[in-house]
Amino acid sequence: MKTKLTTLLLVLVIFIGCTVNEKPEFIAVDNIEVVSVSSDTLTIKADAYFNNPNDLGGTLKTDGIDVIIANVNVATVQTEAFDVPGKRQFAIPLVAKVATNDVFKKNKDNLIGGLLTTLLTKKIKVQYKGAIAYKALGLSYDYPIDITEEVNIE
């Protein structure tokens, strides 16, 4: 009986000593880059940076972030839930695979102008827009994401 009480008391002390009193701080989305280009697929990656001041972690889910190229929604970032580490800064990758056919089909009106601009400048305008969801111990927060950058194509 004494062992069970000691174990329960130890678990309570550890649980109370661990803080989850504030949500992780969203720092920025940065490093948007074209990772690979093929005849049918364009892979784009960005990093979302956070700082977790809490002792305990949680999970981040990135489903629902749209990737917009040349004002056309061409893909959605979809990943597994990411485990948030306690008491440190971290980054999560936001990777999207874009079917190049989708870009051309959805942007028929401005296809020639967009192709010429891309070929001449070797740059495309990429926007990440949506939200990253954080969950820990029954608490939930959404971090809105809306960033646009011109990205070099090599």
CA distance 67 to 44: 9
**Percent of the residues in the chain that have a pLDDT greater than 90, as a whole number:** 32
Say how many domains are in the chain.
1
11 falls within a domain: no
For residue 10, the model assigns a pLDDT of 44
Are 128 and 46 within 8 A, CB to CB? yes
pLDDT digits (tens, 9 = 90+) for 136-146: 877 888 999 99
82 falls within a domain: yes
Judge residue 152's burial from the number of C-beta atoms within 10 Å of its C-beta, 0-12 exposed, 13-18 middle, 19 or more buried. exposed
CATH number at residue 69: 2.60.40.10
57 falls within a domain: yes
Q: Give the pTM.
A: 0.73
- Enclosing domain of residue 135: 22-152
pLDDT digits (tens, 9 = 90+) for 70-114: 778 888 897 788 999 989 999 999 999 888 776 666 655 554 455
